Structure formats: structure tokens, C-alpha cells
Structure 1
Amino acid sequence: MAPFAEALRERVPSRDALLAEAKAQSARQRARLAAGGLSMLLLAGAVWMLDPAWRTEDIRTAVGERGTIRLADGSEAILNTGSHLRVESRLRSRRLELVRGEAGFSVAHASKPFIVRSQGVEVRDIGTVFTVRSDGRGVLVSVVEGTVEVSGRQTPVRRLETGQQVRAGREGIGATRRIDPDAVTAWQRGKLRFDGTPLGEAIVDIQRYRQAPVRLGEARLASLRLSGEYDTDAIESLIDLLPAILPVSLVRGGDGTVVIFGVR
């Protein structure tokens, strides 16, 4: 039996060998768990740094409509006529994109930065109330209260204080100008306010409140100046009033189109 016992001992591991193997397996398992935990931490860190949007919400207003929304952080956004705002839920920041139109923001203080983007322009809030308008002329940023930082893809950061405004776009950021905050926010009270505004620019504002086109029939009329405050709910009355306050005449089409000509 001795030879068979010796052969069996050679084939079956000893108690010490089994204990050593168990310890080795436990160490390998702990190493795998540690590596997995490290990988999860690195992944979580990468996600935190990238700050991806895990949910988006699109908010729109129709032509002639205004809307007010309260954001999850307590901030408030007021949308002007024909506007589209995209609200993004992110880990490290509060980000919104003004796809088109105009919006006013009253920002609640929080640890996460509040950022509004449009046409490659970024507006970073520093505790403030401000408006952003996005159209074919670029992005118009106006500060009603507090401070914001405005930057573009290839432009340095510009800081704006209360009562300041800039227009920004692909070409860069224009000159900072002074504005009347009450005039900038008149639309939030259902008003259009003009103060010696060129008619060409006023027509752009008027157009936003009606579906059918309104345009100048003669380029020279664009330099005429329009002043006064008017109700946005009575845009047609404003258009009808133009010949009484400017040397122009109107031609209305059956489809609602309005063409403005000069008086000869």
C-alpha cells in the first residue's frame, strides 16, 4: 500500500498547498475588485469632467405668444414671441441654448455655473438678470442687473455690468454700449419701445409678432427714425399708425403681407 499512498500524495495537494492556493486566489480576486473599483472611479471622474447632458427639454413660444418657466434650480426664464429654448440637465453646470428668439433670465444663486449659449456665443452668469436675443444679426446680450461674461469661439471673455449690452457673433464681440434696462425688458410687459430706432430695425421687431411678412418697398426708408411705446398685442394698429408718424404709405396684400413705401 505504501507505493500507492505515495503516488496518491503526489497527485493530491497537501493541506498547506491548498491553503496557499486559496490565499493566492483571494489576493487575485481582491486585485480584480480593486482594479474594477479604480476603473469605475476613473469612469465617474471622466463623466464628471465631460459634464454630459443626461436630459434635455425644448420650450417654444408661438408667434405673438410669451411664456414664463421656472427652472429646477429656482431660476426663471421668460420667452418672447417665436422663441425656442433648450434646457439641458447636466452634472456640473446649468446650461441652456437659445436656439432662436429672445429670452430673459433671472438666475438663482447656486454652486453650478449658469450658462446660456446661442450661435457659438456663451453667456456665463455671475449672479444677475439678463436678456439674450438671437436672430440673423447675431446674439444681443443685455444686462438688467448684476454681471455676466460673454465669450465666443475665438474671442476673449468680455465682462458686462448692469445697463450694458453687446452684440456678438462669428465675427467677434462688438463694442459695449449703454442701455436703458427698462427699455430692454419692455417686451416682458407686452410693449415695444423705440427711441429713434431706424425703421429698418423696427421692422425686424414688428415682424416677430406677425406671421405674414412686413417689409420695406424702398431701401432708403430704412434710415427713418421711429420713437414711442406700443402694445405688442396690437401690432396691426402700430402698422396702420406708421403713415401718421412717418412719411410712408402702406400696401396690404390679400395674404396679410404689408409693403411700406415712401410718400412722393
Structure 2
Amino acid sequence: MKPARGNKPDPLQPFAEALRERVPSKEALLAEGKAFTKSRRSKQKSLSAGLLMLALAGGLWQLDPAWRTEDVQVAIGQRQHLQLPDGSQILLNSGTHLRIERRLRSRQLELVRGEASFTVVHEESPFVVRSQGVRVRDIGTVFNLRSDSRGVDVGVIEGSVEVSSGRAAPQILSVGQRVQATAGQIGVVEPVKPEALTAWQHGKLRFDGTPLSEVVRALQQYRTDPIRVADAATGQLRLSGEFDTERVEALVGMLPRILPVSLVRTADGSVILNRLR
């Protein structure tokens, strides 16, 4: 009797088993496809994020933002020396407030008030000092900057600087030149002796026919309580001589003996100068 046809072994069965081992199943193929798609999307997201970061970095480089600031304030009657990371030197006068900014592609500082001398190390990145809307760009030099109620006084000791303010035409100052500038306006360039710009660094105040109004502003830098001139006529009186910055109070007391003025001291420590009639 012959065996039933359905019980006969399938001669292709071994080949089918071997084929299954070599060819993935439909489920495996679908799983692999999903994994590939997920990986591809992840790489595209990473690439997009990278491109976005590069674009942001490029934008920040162009904008040149300040990523860190440092404020330095000098007490009345004191001076302070600073050295920047690039080797540039700064000497700050009495009562000065300087803000140092860390930027991506420039060296920038803001003289909030007071007086400072800058000895700048030349680099490709520009060195700029701002004050009251006035911008002073170094061109490899040593310069002095004073910021007070009149505006900003810029004087060059060595080399040259570019002074700009608002829409006013920029001015190039060379050694032995100074200019008074305010927001939107630059005055007439005048000659100045470099030693007059550096006298304060040696504890001296030098006046050469200087109007009393300017003398008072210079003295105020070394005095906490205000000094005032009573009127324009008083402020037009002129003073010459060299005086010690450590003896400002003595000089204030001597003014009535040097100039035709009266001196009134008020209860709050203020001093008022009035021209004698």
C-alpha cells in the first residue's frame, strides 16, 4: 500500500529554510526601513541645528556684542593702573569710572566719567573708547581722555586717533593736538603740549591762562563736595601755575589771594566763588 501523498516529505523544504536565513522577513525589512528613516531624520535635524548654530555664530560675529563687562571706579584722591589682556595700559585719574567690555571682534571701553590715559598695543582688532556719544578709535598711539560736564576732551600724546560723534565729520588727531567734543558735535582742533596732558599722572595740575570755570572742573575731580563759580564773569577769570593734586583744598583756600574773588563755604561743604566788584 502506498503512503498517503500528504505525508511525503517536501524535497524543497531544506532550500526554503536556507533561503529564510539569508533573506530577511517582511517584518524585519519593515523594521529596518523604519530604523533607517529615523536615523536619516535625526541626521537631518543635527545638520539643520549645526547650520543654524553656524548662522547664529556668524550673526553674532558681525554684531560684535559685549558678552562681559567690568566696571572700575577710582576713589577721590586716588589713581589706578590697569593692564588689559592684550598688554594695553590704562592709567585712571581720581574719581574716574571706566567700563571695560569683552567683545568678539573688537576692544571697546566706555569712559563713564573722569580722566584716563591709554597706551594701546597695536592689533588687528580695533581699540575704541566711547564717552557721552563720542567715539575715539586708536590708530596705534598714546592718548588722554577726559569726560565731564562740558563734554569729552581728547588729547594725543603719541601717534594719532580718530574722533567721531553722530553725523559730524570724523577728525584725525595727531601728536600734540586736542579737541573738545560732545554728542553730535566736534570742536576745533587745537595744539597742546603733551606734558600738559600727562601732568596729572605725576600728581600735578598745570594751568596756563586757564579760565577759572575750567580750573574749577579740574579741581572738582579731586574733591567730593561741589565747587561753583557764581556767574559767567567769575568763570572768565584766568589762572596760571602748577599745583599739587594732593593739596587741592589748600589751593581752593588760596584762590582769593591769587584772583579777585571771594570764597563762601556752605554748611554742606560746597564752595562758591564770586568775582569781586
Q: Which residue of 2 aligns with 1:142?
A: 155
For residues 150-177 of structure 1, the C-alpha deviation after alignment (integer angstroms, 9 at most, x for no partner) is: 1112223221111111111124111111
Cα distance per residue 1:190-239 (max 9 Å; x no partner): 11100100112111111221122222245422221100110000012212
Cα–Cα, structure 1 residues 20 and 251, in superposed 2: closer, same or farther, change >3 Å? closer
Q: Secondary structure at the match of 2:234?
A: helix
Query: Identical aligned pairs, as a percentage?
Result: 53
Q: Which runs of 5+ in 2 are unaligned?
A: 1-24
Match of 1:70 in 2: 83
Report the Cα distance in structure 2 between the residues aligned to 1:251 and 1:107, rounded to whole angstroms: 44
Paired with 2:42 and 2:60, the residues of 1 have a C-alpha distance of: 27
Aligned to 2:48: 35
- Looking at structure 1, the residues matched to 134 and 274 of structure 2 have their Cα atoms a distance apart, in angstroms, of 36
Q: 2:106 is matched with which residue: 82, 88, 93?
A: 93
Q: Distance in 1 between matches of 2:242 and 2:220?
A: 16
Opposite residue 75 of structure 1, the aligned amino acid is S
Which structure has the bigger radius of gyration?
A: 2
Q: Are 1:198 and 2:222 counterparts? A: no
Secondary structure (helix, strand or coil) at the match of 2:170 reads: strand
Q: TM-score, normalised by structure 1?
A: 0.87
TM-superposed CA distance for 1:22, in Å, is 5.3
* CA shift digits 1:90-129 (9 cap, x unpaired): 1111111111111111111222211111111111111111
Matched residue SS, 2:26: coil
Structure 1 position 164 matched with structure 2 position 177: yes
Cα deviation 1:2-61 (Å, max 9, x = unaligned): xxxxxxxxxx63776666665555444333322222111111111211212121111001
Structure 1 alignment gaps of length 5 or more: 1-11
Displacement of 1:131 in angstroms is 1.2
* TM superposition score normalised by structure 2: 0.84
Aligned length: 255
Instruction: Choose the corresponding residue for 1:82, options 95, 98, 105.
Output: 95
Specify the alignment match of 2:194 in structure 1. Answer: 181
Cα–Cα, structure 1 residues 152 and 240, in superposed 2: closer, same or farther, change >3 Å? same
Pair 1:127-2:137 in alignment: no
Q: Secondary structure at the match of 2:49?
A: helix
- Pairing 1:112–2:132 present: no
The alignment partner of 1:116 has SS state of: strand
| Residue in structure 2 matched with residue 49 of structure 1 by the alignment | 62
Amino acid across the alignment from 1:256:
G
